[in-house]
Structure formats: structure tokens, C-alpha cells
Structure 1
């Protein structure tokens, strides 16, 4: 893209605003060097990345780029063998840390909301955690090499501290003695040139000997290193030199580690700069209240309520423009100060922004085109930059445009043909516009010449437009009216300002009849437009009312659904209470049966079982009985239940086999070791019976024997069940085992997490028929099996 057009449309000012939203120097450099792309797929990718950054900014806010800096120069020196100082090493460690935090932030967002472009980019960050740890193990946050950087350095610094302590102790003893204290200017110890000294009055210089390192401005005080500590200061100096050499060794080792990862770190810096730049575009979009435009490469533009990004929001007038569908050229006519130039710049600048991957300050649904180039000849006394131009410079610029434009270019011409004789200028303007139109370029041109109104009216693919002018206030509204040519409004303005009527009538008489017809036609178009806008306003009001009605309906529907969910939940809780009550009563009945079995010894009389069954029927929830009745009605069309059939007893939630039919309404059903009469309404056929099942079911048993039965299981496998289901099965299994007179049973629960084993053993600890229990031995299943001894 030509730099001249970028300057003309003030593109760099947008980039300057964008750079203010970056957090790193790398991101700022990218923002300042941003150029529009002429590749449609590339533009779509850039806009998609900005859109994903906007999504993250809306959901979680923008990520922090704190600590990330451009360490490129330090990496170059490390690569060629230079030694990095602690500040440079710490900056590299902080950059690695910041890059890793940024990567994790985007990864966390991507788990909930797809931001694949940013995620794939962040995945390229190498995360040099070992290098960061190595640096921070040696250098603290103040960029000082720590004692723990090496054992040698730790020992050297201990020697330093001990040496300083001995020197201070020696000097403290001197300055506290009465004979010496009177010779001192102040009773304190100070340092000059890394050597400990004391402030001595000048007249006592000969008393101390030693070395004079400094004196006060007046000369009355000498800073003397007493002879008694010269050797100690010398040794301390040697130790400090050892410290410097050891620090240099440590820094060299860390620099070597950085050099090994130099390329990866440089790539990480580049990636974080890209991410900072993308999130800056998202923050710019938020500040401008901008939206994502749809992009195409077929020369189609559609702007809805577009605003110039450099004009304050409270002052800018939105513009609606469509170009490239029914017409490819727009000729905007009308007086000065109407906003024609700003409209041209808005269209051009917003297209450049979209081609750069930036959102545009316009409403959703706006469309922009990826042109191979945008050309503009804008510049007169009305331009935003106040840059003046002559006819010759205009023509020079237009000639350059004509030589370089293609059918895929956008051409913006302001005051085409101006600056010369009106007759020649209008003819020249028509010729230039006709040439550009024939080239099938997309073009928007502004002019004062009324001749161009007729040109636009006669040419297919060219349409008139004007900037609206309010006659009542004598001021422009800055609204672009496509389809309506501009009026001069000179007579109307003069009349409102008080020009005598005779003069106005004479002036109107000088206007040709053809020009008057054109003015009347334009006035008629404006009246029709106003009428259409009124109708459109009514339609918009109706649409809003319909939207409100629909929203109200949706809210009421949501409220009804919420109430329905509450009622369903209440019904579920009520049903749970009924079932819990029935379960408690059933457990009481089973407990009574066990008690009867213990008291009566070998058998329980049939009439007692019937009485217990009646209690179970009475404990059955009303809702369940109704459900069973409905279920029975549905089964009327199925074949009748016969002896030997497998059936489901719904009141007990158990399967059994029909032994015999007791009339038309009841059946004797075998349930494990129990036989009981069950209502036919409480039964549902599961499957047809085999002859072997029918034969087995025909055995008639009228009493409950507490004897060993071959069909009783001595092993229960609960693997894969949850604890609640397992306890129900264990309770049923223990009843069967007790009534079957088993002495020992096995419960297989598996090892797993131990939750199932613990819950089952807690239940067995309280069971009345359990004598003892233990985990299985080797060969019995080990910790995955519990062996239970029954009483």
C-alpha cells in the first residue's frame, strides 16, 4: 500500500492510538509498523485473531504481560560469548516466567471457549523453566548474586562478614578508649575506598600512623586507616577480589545456559510480542466500540452507522454507505462544509483498518472489501490536516492514480476538477470519472459541479449522493444521502437571511428552465425520501414492539418452565418421602419375619406369611399402586401369565417365577427361597418360561424352611457398584444367607479406592446376624474380598 495514501487518510494516527494499548516494546513496535494486507485469507485470519482476543477480554479481561521485555541484545551478546550482568539475566528469567504465565492463561481460556488461533500461537512458547530456576537460584529480585549461588561464594562471603566484624571490633575498641576518643572528630567508623577508617583531628595525625585516605573540606578532619588494621583491610580487600572472581564465574555459567537456549528464547519474545499486539487490537476495538466486519474480495462495501475513528464520539455523525452492488461509483454533490471530505476519509480509513486486522467503528453487519490498492486525491482548505493544494498538484496526483489503478482498486476523489475554469473543470471531471468507471474500479467522488449530477443520473452503475442540509437551521447535518443529488440551496439561504424578494425573483429568472426542472426534481426526491424515512421509522417502531412482545413471551415461557421444574422437583421429593416411608415399613416387616423365623425354629406358618404380605401391600405408596394399575392396563393386550413364566414384582422390585395361578387375580410366585401370593396387577411378564423353569416352578412349597438350599448363593460380587446400591444388595444377600442356614459367605468388593470395602464393613459391624468378618487370605481374594461368619 502506497505510503502517500496512508498519510492522506491519517492511518498513522490510528496506529499511534493502537500502540498506546500495548504492554511491551515488541508489541508497540508491531503496532507502529502495521500495514494493510491485500490477501483476503490473511485479512480474515488477522480479524479472527482480533475477535478471539476480544472474546478473552470480555470473559476474563486482558492478560498481563508484566515482566516480559525485549532481551534481544542480551541474547546476541550471550551467543557470541559475552558475559551477561545480573540485571540482564534477571530480565531474561522474568521474561521466561511472564511468557509461561501468558501461555497458561490462554490455555485455561481455551478449555472453556475455543480461541484456537491464540492457543496455537501460545503453544509455540517453549517454557524454559529449568533456565529460569537456574537464574533465580543465583540472582535475587534486586539483581544481586545470592550467597547460595555456589558453595565457594557462600564461604567467601562468610569470610568477608567475619573480617569486617573483626575490623569493626578492633576500631570500636580504639574509639571508645578515653585516650583516643579526644583525638577523634566523631566517634564513628566509616569507609573510604572499601577500607575502614576513622575521622581523626588533623593535629593528631602523627599519633596514629597508618594511611590517610581522605580529608574534610576544611582540612580539620583526616580519615585515617590505623596501622593496626592495615593488614586486616588488605586481607579483606583480597577476599573481595575473590568474591568478584567467583561472581564472574557464576555469571559466565548462567550466560552459557542462556546461550544454549538463545534461539528458543528469542522466538518466545517474538510470540509474546505478537500476542501483546493482538490484545492491543482488542482493547482498541473496545475503546472505539468497534465491531468485526465481514470481508470480501468482490469490491462490495456496506457500512452501517460508520464513524470516523479520530473524531470524538459525541461529535461524529454516523454514515451509511453501500457500494459495489447495484452501482460501483458514487458522485457526492453539495455545498462546502457539508462533510463530504470527512465522509471520503471515513470510508477509506475504515477500509485500511479492516485490511490491517482491526475492528471498525461501525455497527455489526458491516462489510468491507480487500482491495489491491486504495488511491485518494484529498486535500484542500476543508481537509482535516488543512493542507492546501493547487489544480496542478491535483492533476499530478490524479494522473498517478490513473496510471496505477486496477479493476480491484478503490479510488477516492475530493473536488475533482476544481481549481480551474468551471466549464473546463466540469468537462475534465466527467472525462476522468468516465474513464475510472469504465475500468470498473470502485469510486467515490465529490464535486461542486452541477453537470456531474446529470452524468450520474444518465450512467448505469453510477449514483448521485449528497450531504443533507437543514434549511430551517441553515446548517449541514453531515448525513450522506445516497440516491439524492445535492441542491445549492442558495436561494433558500438568501431568503432566510433577508435578501429582498425583488432581487431573488430576478435571480430565479436568470436560472435556465432546465436547471429549474432539475431543482424541482431534487426537491421531489427529497420529499419522497422524507416520506420513506417516516414510513421506515413507523416500521422500525412496529419491529421494536414485536421484539418486545417476543421478549415478553420468551420471559413468560421461561418463567412457566421454571415453575414446571419446581413442581417436578417437589413431586420428586414427595415421591422420595413416600418411598422412604414404604422402605422403613418394609424393613420392619422383614425384621418381624426374621424374628418369627428365630422364634418358630424350623418353619413359619403360611397364614403368618399372608399376614406379613398384607402389611407390605398396605405399606405400598399410593402413587406406586396407581402406577402398577396403569401398567396392568397396558399389559391387557399381551399374552396371559402362565405357571413357569418369569415375572417382575413391582411392589418388591424383584424378579421371580410363577409357581401356580391362584384364581384370576392372584398368582403364587417363587422369589428366591420365598413363595408368596401376589396380585396379578403387581406382576409384569419378563420373558417366556423354559420347560425346565416351568418344571422347577411347579414344586409346591407352603412353608419357609430355614435349611440349606442348593440355589442359595454363598458369594456376592459387588464390583462396579456404588456404595448405596451395594448396601441394598448386601442386606438382601445377608437375609438369604441367614434363612439358608449358611455359616460363611464371601462379599467381593474389589480393592479400588477402598470406599466400597469400608462402607460394607461398617454395615456388617452393626448387623445382628454377623458373628465376625475379615479380609480374604491368600487364595481367597485378599483385600478385595470380605469373609463373613454368620451366627
Structure 2
């Protein structure tokens, strides 16, 4: 991408924001080099990496990225035999430790079953150098100091050093506590000069202590003297310090040589850690922006859902749906200034550049971004005083450069195309430029003031008009993009709201051509229609949500009802069975007593009569065994309307009403109808065909009667006869309730049907259908 485009669309500001989320200088260095790529596979890889990092942050909250340093110069100097400082060795140990901790962190996530293929590839290339880490950590402290544990010799020397220092301090303490010292010393303290212990002596008493003068105060009244009595002790200290320094240098050189042997491994770790830091900086930035991963394509298709300008505060940015490259490849946004046209341009351009740089975009899930070879933008007033160029000339310089390079793999953004010159010539030039870029196959978004371009979207296939909504009541833009609706100037409405005389406004309207007035009226009508459609859509959406909730509640209640019904039937059968068993036992007891009585009294009761009595008792008992129906698998039966089936997902029986698609049926379960997939149905039974019988023949429960009677289009007299016959059939079939469809119409048929039903002896209650049952066009009948 050209530097000028990145600057115009403020991509560098995105990089500045991203810098806040890195954990090391290594990550900051990669952010500084971040540029969009036009290589599709590379962009896909970058987006996948960012998405994996975002997944880790979502699941774990944070990643242990602390303790990473840029140790590349340290490692290279050690490789050529240089001696590293304790601070540099500490940074090397810290970076090795950071890599080890990070590797362990991700390995635990992988063991949990979290798939992170890109991150896994990176962590597998980290070298774990525990030996070097321990070697340095045992010798160098966290503050970059050489520890006593670095070597046995160093520990001994430092022990001697502490002992000798204590001896020197003890001698000096005795000097400054003497009675004569109070008048000869400026202050009763021990201090150090030139790494030797001294005391502050007044100028006039310098000869009293002898020894060596190392320093004097600014006034010259105080001399810092090393008394002769401790000169040898200070010499011994210096000798031990020299030996200590030599031992430290030996240790540092040994550690540096060891580090130099692993330079390549250290450089590899630095490269991987820098990349991981960079990836997680992008993920944290995405979380801050509430951004999402866009789907990518090579076809120049842009679909941004609720997209926001990433540099505007989230609470201030107005989200917009922006589509390009599918039904149309060019958008012309018209309307007044300060309406948000330029923000829309920059939002599209910046989201595209962010996507191509591997950054998630501030839009909702399901958004889509294209990977373009080039993005061109001519935005804002780029007038150059040095080149003595006017606004128009400056724009033309940019446009000429764009036209040299634009092709079908380009996204072109024009702001105020043709502005800065004669309106008629500017509009003509704008149309010509748009035609040229459009014919080359590029994707275009252009903003303009010119009314002539409002017709451009209607006269060109693949071009659509758009505008940014303006609230005339509040005299402020809403910044909401309206695709398909050209913009209005709103000059007359704004002037009227601000108090301009109506006479002047009407006179101004007269100066506008009839065609322009028609166009403005058409746009106004479009805006009104759009707002009404938007309100109706919202209302319909709310009604749909309410209906779906009611439907789910009804389904739940129906299932509970059937479950309760089955439990009650089971309980009743169990109680009935117990009663019958009790009755049989009592009868058996009576028969036994009769038999005994016959034997004792020689009563004339025959044995076969007793057996016959027992048989009649058994036959008198109610048969509780339910009639079993053969269940046939769906694959072996061709379903037909009226078939009795079992809905597996609800464990309920019902009847097929009609087939609604290739693999779905409408099923009636009680009073409820629902769509069910054929794979969720099991065939139980089919309705028996209606046979022609004599009028005297009574039809049993095997006779199939539908749960609905449709009377729409019937004459009143015929309808009442059909209702009368249908009610009789439904009662014979044993239905608890049925529905009669009479429609709304004039209400005469509905009133007549309901009057008949109210007077029928077998009708318990009637009511209108619910919203899902047909409303006022249906009467639901419940039988006694």
C-alpha cells in the first residue's frame, strides 16, 4: 500500500493505538513495521493468528508475556567473545525463563483440548535452555548484581571484605567517640572517599590524626582524612576488593562464553517471543475495540455489519451496515456537509486496511472484507501552498495518479469528487471519472454535493445511491448511512426551522427547476417510506419474538398436560386394578364359603354352578389392557395426510395434516399444530377408508373425521347443514375439541355458526382461535 493512502486513511494512528498493548520492545518493533498485505494467503494466516490469540484471552483472561527483553545485541556480542555485564546476563536469563513459562502455559491449554494450531507451531520452536537459565540465575540477581553464590572464592572474598570493613569501622568509631574528637571533627560520622574510609576533620587539627587527606569541603574548613592508624587496614580492604573484582570478571566471562555457544537458539527464541507478543497485542486491541474477525474473499466483496470508525470513541461512533461488491460495485453518497460522508469513506477504507494487516475490525460477527491489491483514497482538502495548487488542482493531481494504477483489484475512495470548480463542469468531470474507474472493474465509494450525481445511480447498472440521514427537527446529522436513498440538501427545511420568512423560502423554491423539485420530492417520499418500513419491521420483529415465546410456552404447557394426563391414567388404572383384585378375592372367599356350606349342610349347589359363577365374576371385571398399535418405521411407509404418527422429540402422538416441504409435515397434536421433520416421525396407523353404509348403520370411532371444518365460501344454509353433520361425526370420533374455519368476512357466517353451536346440547364451550390458530376467523368448539 502506498504511504500516502495509509496517511490519508490514518492507518498510522491505528499503529499508535496498537503500541499500547505490547509487552516488550520486541513486540513494539513489529507493530512499528506493521503494514497491510495484498497477499491473500498471508492475510488469512495473520487473521487466523489474531483469532487464536483472541480465543486465548477470552478463555484465560491474560497471557504471561512479562520478562521479555531484546537480547539480540547481547547474544551477538557474546558470540564474538565479548564479556556481558551482569544486567545483560540477567536479561538473557529472564527472556529464557519467559519462553519456558509461555511454552508451559500453552501446553496446558492444548492438554485441555483447546485447538491452537498456529500458536502450537510457534511454541514448539522455542528452545528450553534450563541449564543456562539456572547457571545465570545462581550467579546474577534480579537487580543485575553478582551474587555471593556465583563461586566459592567470591563468597570467601566477600566474607573477608565484610570482616575487614567491620574492623576499620570499629577503629574509626573509637576515634570519633573520644572526648577530644568533638572539638576536632566537623561531624562525628564515618564516610568514604576514593573507596577508602575517612573522617571529617577541621582544618586547624589536620596534623593531629596524620595520614592522608582525600578531599575537602567547598569552604575548605573541613578535610576528609584517612588517619594513619587505619591506612594499612584500608590497604588490605582495597586488595580484597581488587581480588573480588577479578573474580567477578572471571565469572562474567565464563557465563558470557557459555551464552555465546547458544546464540542461534537465543535469537530463535527472541523471534518467536516477539511474534507472540505482537499477536497478543493485536488480540488485546481487538478486545478494546470490541472487534471481530472478518471473513475474507478475493472477489472485492465488502459486507460490514454495524461497522464503526475505529478511531472514534465507541460510545460516540454510529454503527452502519455497509455493503459493496455484490449487487453493486459503486456507491455514490450525496448530501450536505458535516453529515458523516467522509467518516463513512474512512470507515470502509480503514476497516479494509486493518483486515489486510491481520487486525480484527470494529464490526459485528458475520462481516466480510475483501483483500485488494491496492487501495486508493482522495480525501480531504490537500491544498499545497508550496506547489501553488488550488483545492481542485490538488484533488486532480491525486486522481491522475490513481487513474494510472487502478484496476479490477482496487478499492477507490473519492471524497467530494469534482469539488472546487464550476459546479456544471465539476459534475460532468465527476461522472466521467466514475465511469472510467467503474469500467476498469474497481470497487468505488464516492461522496459529492452535485445533484446531477443523484441520477447517476439510477442510470448505471451496478451503481447505487446513498446518503447520510439528517434530522431536520434537531438540525443535526444522525450519521446513519442510507443505502439506496440519495441525499437532500435540506437547505429550505433548515432555513425554515431557523426562522427564515416563509415568503423568501417559497420564492427560492420558484428559482429551482421543476425536475429538481420532483427529484427532491421523490427523495423525501423515499425517506418517509423508508422510516415507515423500518418502524414496521421493528414492530413485526417484536411481534414475531412475542409469538415465538408464546408458541414455546404453549408447546411446553401441552407437553406437561399430556405427561400429567398419562400419569393420571396410569394411576387410575392401577387403582382400578387393585379394586378388581380386591373384588375377585372377596368373591373367591364367598364361593369358598358356599362350597363349605354345601358340604356341611348338603345344600343343593352344584360344582359346575360355582365354576360358572366364578367365570361370570371374572368376565365382569373391566379389561385394562390398552390396545397396542403396530409402529412402522418411516422408511417403510409412505406418509399420507390423516396418518396417525408418533413425534419422537416430544414423545407424543398426533395426525398428519399436510406436507409443507420435501421433508416436513404439519402435525396436529391435540389442539396444537407444528412443523415436524419426517425423520422425527414414526408411523402408527392410517385412517380406514370411508365405506358406503346404509343410513341406519352407526359409524364407530374408526371413522376418520378431520379436526377442522373449512366453511369459507359456503352459503349460510349449506354451512349450517355441514356444521350439524360435522359435529355429529366429531362426537362419534370421540374428539374433545374441533376447529371450524369460517373466515372473518362480514361476520354473518361466523355469527350463524356460533348461534347454532351455543344451542347444541353436546357443546360445552366455544371461543375464537388464538393468534397462532387463526384468530377471529376460527371458532374452537369444546365438547362435554
- Per the TM superposition, whether the score is higher than 0.5 is yes
Look up the SS of the partner of 2:213 in the other structure.
strand
What CA distance in whole angstroms lies between the structure 2 residues aligned with 1:553 and 1:59? 38
Q: Which residue of 1 aligns with 2:760?
A: none
TM-aligned CA deviation for residue 503 of structure 1: 3.7
Q: Which residue of 2 aligns with 1:123?
A: 124
Q: Which residue of 2 aligns with 1:42?
A: 42
- Residue pairs, 1:151-166, within 5 angstroms: 151-166=152-167
Residues 1:278 and 2:284 aligned together: no
What CA distance in whole angstroms lies between the structure 2 residues aligned with 1:52 and 1:109? 12
What CA distance in whole angstroms lies between the structure 1 residues aligned with 2:398 and 2:283? 36
Q: Which runs of 5+ in 1 are unaligned?
A: 383-387, 564-791
- Residue pairs, 1:200-215, within 5 angstroms: 200-215=201-216
What CA distance in whole angstroms lies between the structure 2 residues aligned with 1:203 and 1:492? 97
Look up the SS of the partner of 2:306 in the other structure.
strand
Contact 1:379 / 1:389 at 8 angstroms: preserved in 2?
Answer: no
What CA distance in whole angstroms lies between the structure 2 residues aligned with 1:519 and 1:138? 82
Q: Which moved more, 1:29-38 or 1:514-523?
A: 514-523
Residues 1:26 and 2:26 aligned together: yes
Residue 199 to residue 451, structure 1, CA distance change in 2 (3 Å): closer
Residues 11-38 of structure 1: CA deviation (Å, up to 9, x unaligned):
1111111111111111112122211111
Q: Which residue of 2 aligns with 1:148?
A: 149
What CA distance in whole angstroms lies between the structure 2 residues aligned with 1:177 and 1:263? 64
- Residue pairs, 1:179-218, within 5 angstroms: 184-218=185-219
Residues 344-365 of structure 1: CA deviation (Å, up to 9, x unaligned):
1111111111111111111111
What CA distance in whole angstroms lies between the structure 1 residues aligned with 2:335 and 2:532? 22
Q: Which residue of 2 aligns with 1:248?
A: 249
- Residue pairs, 1:748-787, within 5 angstroms: none
Q: Which residue of 1 aligns with 2:366?
A: 365
TM-aligned CA deviation for residue 431 of structure 1: 0.7
What CA distance in whole angstroms lies between the structure 1 residues aligned with 2:499 and 2:146? 86
TM-aligned CA deviation for residue 543 of structure 1: 4.1
TM-score scaled by length of structure 1: 0.66
Contact 2:467 / 2:485 at 8 angstroms: preserved in 1?
Answer: yes
Residue 559 to residue 118, structure 1, CA distance change in 2 (3 Å): farther
Q: Which residue of 1 aligns with 2:325?
A: 324
- Residue pairs, 1:326-475, within 5 angstroms: 326-380=327-381, 390-475=391-476
Residues 327-352 of structure 1: CA deviation (Å, up to 9, x unaligned):
11111111222111111111111111
TM-score scaled by length of structure 2: 0.67
Q: Which runs of 5+ in 2 are unaligned?
A: 384-388, 565-784
Residues 178-223 of structure 1: CA deviation (Å, up to 9, x unaligned):
6777755555543322223344444443343322223344444433
Residues 1:90 and 2:90 aligned together: yes
Residue 204 to residue 342, structure 1, CA distance change in 2 (3 Å): closer
Contact 2:382 / 2:391 at 8 angstroms: preserved in 1?
Answer: no
Residue 559 to residue 75, structure 1, CA distance change in 2 (3 Å): farther
TM-aligned CA deviation for residue 463 of structure 1: 1.0
Residue 378 to residue 230, structure 1, CA distance change in 2 (3 Å): same
Q: Which residue of 2 aligns with 1:512?
A: 513
Residues 492-520 of structure 1: CA deviation (Å, up to 9, x unaligned):
33344444444444433333333233233
TM-aligned CA deviation for residue 226 of structure 1: 3.0
What CA distance in whole angstroms lies between the structure 2 residues aligned with 1:161 and 1:143? 21
Contact 1:470 / 1:477 at 8 angstroms: preserved in 2?
Answer: yes
Residue 341 to residue 216, structure 1, CA distance change in 2 (3 Å): closer
Q: Over aligned residues, Cα RMSD in angstroms?
A: 2.8
What CA distance in whole angstroms lies between the structure 2 residues aligned with 1:393 and 1:32? 30
Q: Which residue of 1 aligns with 2:80?
A: 80
Q: Which residue of 2 aligns with 1:71?
A: 71
What CA distance in whole angstroms lies between the structure 2 residues aligned with 1:502 and 1:63? 69
Q: Which residue of 1 aligns with 2:4?
A: 4
What CA distance in whole angstroms lies between the structure 2 residues aligned with 1:175 and 1:519? 101
What CA distance in whole angstroms lies between the structure 2 residues aligned with 1:380 and 1:136? 59
What CA distance in whole angstroms lies between the structure 1 residues aligned with 2:138 and 2:214? 38
Q: Which residue of 2 aligns with 1:15?
A: 15
- Residue pairs, 1:455-604, within 5 angstroms: 455-545=456-546, 548=549
Q: Which residue of 1 aligns with 2:567?
A: none
What CA distance in whole angstroms lies between the structure 2 residues aligned with 1:198 and 1:556? 97
Look up the SS of the partner of 1:291 in the other structure.
coil
What CA distance in whole angstroms lies between the structure 2 residues aligned with 1:262 and 1:368? 42
Contact 2:382 / 2:394 at 8 angstroms: preserved in 1?
Answer: no
Contact 2:382 / 2:395 at 8 angstroms: preserved in 1?
Answer: no
Residue 389 to residue 71, structure 1, CA distance change in 2 (3 Å): farther
Q: Which residue of 1 aligns with 2:683?
A: none
Contact 1:110 / 1:116 at 8 angstroms: preserved in 2?
Answer: no
Contact 1:197 / 1:224 at 8 angstroms: preserved in 2?
Answer: yes
- Residue pairs, 1:289-328, within 5 angstroms: 289-328=290-329
Look up the SS of the partner of 2:269 in the other structure.
helix
Residue 174 to residue 16, structure 1, CA distance change in 2 (3 Å): closer
Q: Which moved more, 1:1-10 or 1:152-161?
A: 152-161
Aligned residues: 556
Contact 2:43 / 2:357 at 8 angstroms: preserved in 1?
Answer: yes
Look up the SS of the partner of 2:66 in the other structure.
coil
Residues 640-686 of structure 1: CA deviation (Å, up to 9, x unaligned):
xxxxxxxxxxxxxxxxxxxxxxxxxxxxxxxxxxxxxxxxxxxxxxx
Q: Which moved more, 1:162-171 or 1:338-347?
A: 162-171
What CA distance in whole angstroms lies between the structure 2 residues aligned with 1:389 and 1:19? 37
What CA distance in whole angstroms lies between the structure 2 residues aligned with 1:312 and 1:554? 45
Look up the SS of the partner of 1:357 in the other structure.
coil
Look up the SS of the partner of 1:76 in the other structure.
helix
Contact 1:36 / 1:352 at 8 angstroms: preserved in 2?
Answer: yes
Residue 363 to residue 349, structure 1, CA distance change in 2 (3 Å): same
Residue 457 to residue 53, structure 1, CA distance change in 2 (3 Å): same
What CA distance in whole angstroms lies between the structure 1 residues aligned with 2:498 and 2:252? 83
- Residue pairs, 1:718-729, within 5 angstroms: none
What CA distance in whole angstroms lies between the structure 2 residues aligned with 1:279 and 1:558? 50
TM-aligned CA deviation for residue 171 of structure 1: 4.1
TM-aligned CA deviation for residue 369 of structure 1: 0.5
What CA distance in whole angstroms lies between the structure 2 residues aligned with 1:290 and 1:505? 49
Q: Which residue of 2 aligns with 1:716?
A: none
Q: Which moved more, 1:486-495 or 1:89-98?
A: 486-495
Residue 328 to residue 229, structure 1, CA distance change in 2 (3 Å): same
Q: Which residue of 1 aligns with 2:104?
A: 104
Contact 1:487 / 1:522 at 8 angstroms: preserved in 2?
Answer: yes
TM-aligned CA deviation for residue 554 of structure 1: 11
TM-aligned CA deviation for residue 559 of structure 1: 12
What CA distance in whole angstroms lies between the structure 2 residues aligned with 1:74 and 1:559? 74
Q: Which residue of 1 aligns with 2:627?
A: none
Look up the SS of the partner of 1:358 in the other structure.
coil
What CA distance in whole angstroms lies between the structure 1 residues aligned with 2:506 and 2:201? 109
Contact 1:332 / 1:466 at 8 angstroms: preserved in 2?
Answer: yes
Look up the SS of the partner of 2:455 in the other structure.
helix
What CA distance in whole angstroms lies between the structure 1 residues aligned with 2:217 and 2:546? 90
What CA distance in whole angstroms lies between the structure 2 residues aligned with 1:188 and 1:494? 86
Residue 552 to residue 267, structure 1, CA distance change in 2 (3 Å): farther
Look up the SS of the partner of 1:213 in the other structure.
strand
What CA distance in whole angstroms lies between the structure 1 residues aligned with 2:8 and 2:81? 48
Q: Which residue of 1 aligns with 2:52?
A: 52
TM-aligned CA deviation for residue 297 of structure 1: 0.9
Look up the SS of the partner of 1:137 in the other structure.
helix
Q: Which residue of 2 aligns with 1:585?
A: none
What CA distance in whole angstroms lies between the structure 2 residues aligned with 1:144 and 1:110? 38
